[in-house]
Structure 1
Amino acid sequence: MSQTAFSDCITGVQQIGVGVKDLQTSKFWYKKFLGMEVLVFDDKADAPLMTIYTGGKVHSRHALLTLNIAGGGGMEVWQYVSRTPVSADFAVSFGDLGTFAAKIKCNDIDAAHRFYLAENATVSAIMESAHGSRHFWLTDPHGNYFNIVEGHDWFRDPAPTHNVGGVYGAVIGVSDIDKALKLYRDVLGINEVVYDVTGQFKDVPQPAYAGEKYRRVLLRKRGKENGAFSRLLGGVEIELVQCLERTPRKIFEGRYWGDLGFIHLCFDVIDMAKLKQQAAAAGFPFTIDSADSFSMGQAAGRFAYLEDPDGTYIELVETHKVPILKKIGWFLDLTKRKVQKPLPNWMIGCMAWSKVK
């Protein structure tokens, strides 16, 4: 199978979903520490299409999507309204199966690290990765890890306080990297192998696991002028981590989608029908498909889910309608344009007028 066969369907990371107990508190933390201050939607509704992952019952939720206008994917902050969200009943460890951390792009590692230290955030020391780049780990008040890494493409300069942009990708624990590559590299088209290394590593976020043996593969997809929001979303980085000396546990074992932690990684798609056909042929059928346009607040699109070989949730969204300037009721209907062509920079910049409050 060609490693580039499906790469044109995915334009970048649209967002990462995180389940929280208190959406209001969480959104302000992500605004201050990750620059997620642009509000795309804020929606309270039932989630009838997610019953496959919510115990066969329709549950209500409050969700909002925020962006960092410097570039990169956003964050979908998600809170159950109809039930109390549940945390893992074990300490999640590096290499456990599922989305372990969100990757956040940064244009000045030292300045960002100083900012977090000055704000008493929980951060690791600055470390060196397997390919020599510098990074560190930030932990939010809920225990979620964010890998702050060197960014390679920007829509705008990030704020000089935190010096970070949006979501670049994720660190995902898998049981077999070779099987996982069939999805992340061959189907999703994140096909540049930056490194493929096996051994013990000093740059893991939990020192207790630094002496264990892992296989780690960093995949990258360079940003292209392909898709309405491609200039904003930029490139993608996915690090796959396989434990070689410990049997990893599934991070969402025995829990519902939407419970506490990273619930999905979402990619922006420009041809959902084509991707559905080709993903199924590769052995990754959609488990959920809205088929038609589905509204999320003032945004709308076709969304779908598939799972990696370990059951990690991957969301796919083909955007149909998005608010550009909500104050004057300006919404863009992407079904009426050539979606492969990037939107003008000034138009995307207008989205920054809608702020998290």
Structure 2
Amino acid sequence: MKINGIQQLGVGVVDVHEAWKWYREHFSMDILMFDEEAVAELMLPHTDGKPRARHAILALNMEGGGGFEIWQHTEKEPTPISSEILLGDLGINIGVLKSDNIEAAYQRYKDANLNLVTEITSSPSQRKHFFLKDPYKNLWEVKEHAEVFKKESGVNGGVLGTIIGVKNIEESLVVYRDILGFDETVYDETRVFDDFSGIPGGNHLFRRVLLRHTDIKNGAFSRLFGKSEIELVEVKDRTPKSIYEGRIWGDPGFIHLCYDINGMDELREKAKDCGFPFTVDSARAMDTFDMGDAAGNFAYIQAPEGTLIEFVETHKIPLIKKLGWYIDFRKRGNHPLPNWILSLFRFKRVR
């Protein structure tokens, strides 16, 4: 079993086309991997027991990092959160983007009149970062990170990780450390943090744990996805609420965190042994799940605080669709794709 990196962060929106246009323009998420309208028939444990029609777009950034799965309910009206998310509320609070030039990123966003909620400050690991809010009320951290797959004209790369509000860090570590393999604790500190000042709810007392992985990833897309990290925050002086209480998967906000993996059968047993059996398992329903031009298997677990973690084992993707050039990983194997092949993704760019 191999966990190869963050494939994408799911972002529920009201208008998938309008949101993707904004994310292309400001976050350079302009490489189109798939654009599909379908019915989510297997997600019943997380959709009130009903199949849900949806429109999903998977977009990547050529500077590397995980992508965005921009996701819209198309049959029911998307249900927004009724009150502002406060830091430490249960679930994915903040999406983290990487940047190899944090000052340039901040200035670009400032010039574009984006909603910057903090200035550039330093995290407890002494890395520069800042926070901003997109038009859809999602909070993003932009963090300095030197790793770049292919340098382009944008000021940020893709998803480096997330900040997740949890009830109890020790309980949630079973998922993030023991299952996902984030085995390095960069810091584990409890106090009121200056760099959270300005974030809604950020002035409270937090225990804050930053996790990274020490292994070198060697899946097919690992060179593009790069390194990743997860930050867990546990608020100590107020009672947090569940971000998706009264709502379902796919409603506006951060809906899941998805990992590219190999070895779904082994992962199924490991997750079960750790006390987190798959809640959704496409491999039990069919040999391979058709995702439009791509195909594979997917599964979900739910962390103690409610965060949905998706696992995707890719079987086939189109490389250059017009030429009928597909990669079938069941024939090729899952060793790293060479950089020149990954660089061909640039031909999937949408302006």
TM-score, normalised to structure 1, is 0.94
- 2:37 is aligned with 1:50: no
- CA–CA distance in structure 1, aligned partners of residues 5 and 202 of structure 2: 31
Deviation at 1:307, TM superposition (A): 0.6
Greater Cα offset, 295-304 or 259-268: 295-304
Residue in 1 that maps onto 2:319: 324
- CA–CA distance in structure 2, aligned partners of residues 118 and 103 of structure 1: 21
What residue identity is the alignment partner of 1:125? E
- 2:328 is aligned with 1:345: no
- CA–CA distance in structure 2, aligned partners of residues 254 and 328 of structure 1: 46
What residue identity is the alignment partner of 1:62? H
SS in structure 1 of the partner of residue 265 of structure 2:
helix
- CA–CA distance in structure 2, aligned partners of residues 17 and 186 of structure 1: 22
Determine if contact 1:50/1:288 at 8 Å carries over to the other structure: yes
- 2:221 is aligned with 1:226: no
Deviation at 1:222, TM superposition (A): 4.9
- CA–CA distance in structure 2, aligned partners of residues 147 and 304 of structure 1: 27
Determine if contact 1:300/1:319 at 8 Å carries over to the other structure: yes
Determine if contact 2:282/2:298 at 8 Å carries over to the other structure: yes
What residue identity is the alignment partner of 2:62? I
What residue identity is the alignment partner of 1:14? Q
Deviation at 1:215, TM superposition (A): 0.2
- CA–CA distance in structure 1, aligned partners of residues 42 and 4 of structure 2: 24
What residue identity is the alignment partner of 1:30? Y
Deviation at 1:318, TM superposition (A): 0.6
- CA–CA distance in structure 1, aligned partners of residues 307 and 272 of structure 2: 16
Residue in 1 that maps onto 2:236: 244
- In the alignment, structure 1 segments of 5+ residues that lack a partner are 1-7
Residue in 2 that maps onto 1:297: 292
Residue in 2 that maps onto 1:5: none
Determine if contact 1:322/1:333 at 8 Å carries over to the other structure: yes
Aligned structure 1 segments of 4 or more residues deviating by more than 6 angstroms: none
Q: How many residues align?
A: 347
Deviation at 1:98, TM superposition (A): 0.2
SS in structure 2 of the partner of residue 209 of structure 1:
coil
Q: For 1:334, which of 307, 313, 329 is the aligned residue? A: 329
Deviation at 1:208, TM superposition (A): 5.6
Determine if contact 1:320/1:334 at 8 Å carries over to the other structure: yes
Determine if contact 1:34/1:164 at 8 Å carries over to the other structure: yes
SS in structure 2 of the partner of residue 185 of structure 1:
helix
- In the alignment, structure 2 segments of 5+ residues that lack a partner are none
Q: Tell me the alpha carbon deviations over residues 53-86 of structure 1, each in whole angstroms, 9 at most, x when there is no partner.
A: 1111111001010000111110000011101100
- CA–CA distance in structure 1, aligned partners of residues 203 and 101 of structure 2: 29
Determine if contact 2:87/2:199 at 8 Å carries over to the other structure: no
Residue in 1 that maps onto 2:349: 355
Deviation at 1:207, TM superposition (A): 4.7
Residue in 1 that maps onto 2:309: 314
- CA–CA distance in structure 1, aligned partners of residues 288 and 169 of structure 2: 34
Q: Tell me the alpha carbon deviations over residues 188-212 of structure 1, each in whole angstroms, 9 at most, x when there is no partner.
A: 1011111101000111264563431
Residue in 2 that maps onto 1:29: 22
Residue in 2 that maps onto 1:143: 137
What residue identity is the alignment partner of 2:340? W
| Identity fraction in percent | 46
Q: For 1:201, which of 168, 193, 208 is the aligned residue? A: 193
Residue in 1 that maps onto 2:127: 133
- CA–CA distance in structure 2, aligned partners of residues 105 and 90 of structure 1: 28
Deviation at 1:225, TM superposition (A): 4.5
- CA–CA distance in structure 2, aligned partners of residues 208 and 104 of structure 1: 19
- 2:64 is aligned with 1:71: yes
TM-score, normalised to structure 2, is 0.96
- CA–CA distance in structure 1, aligned partners of residues 321 and 62 of structure 2: 16
Determine if contact 1:323/1:331 at 8 Å carries over to the other structure: yes
What residue identity is the alignment partner of 1:194? V
Greater Cα offset, 22-31 or 220-229: 220-229
Distance 1:205 1:49, change over 3 A: farther
What residue identity is the alignment partner of 1:25? E
Determine if contact 2:87/2:202 at 8 Å carries over to the other structure: no
Determine if contact 1:94/1:100 at 8 Å carries over to the other structure: yes
- 2:247 is aligned with 1:283: no
Residue in 1 that maps onto 2:259: 267
SS in structure 2 of the partner of residue 89 of structure 1:
coil
Q: What is the root-mean-square deviation of aligned Cα atoms in Å?
A: 1.3
What residue identity is the alignment partner of 1:106? S
Greater Cα offset, 9-18 or 318-327: 318-327
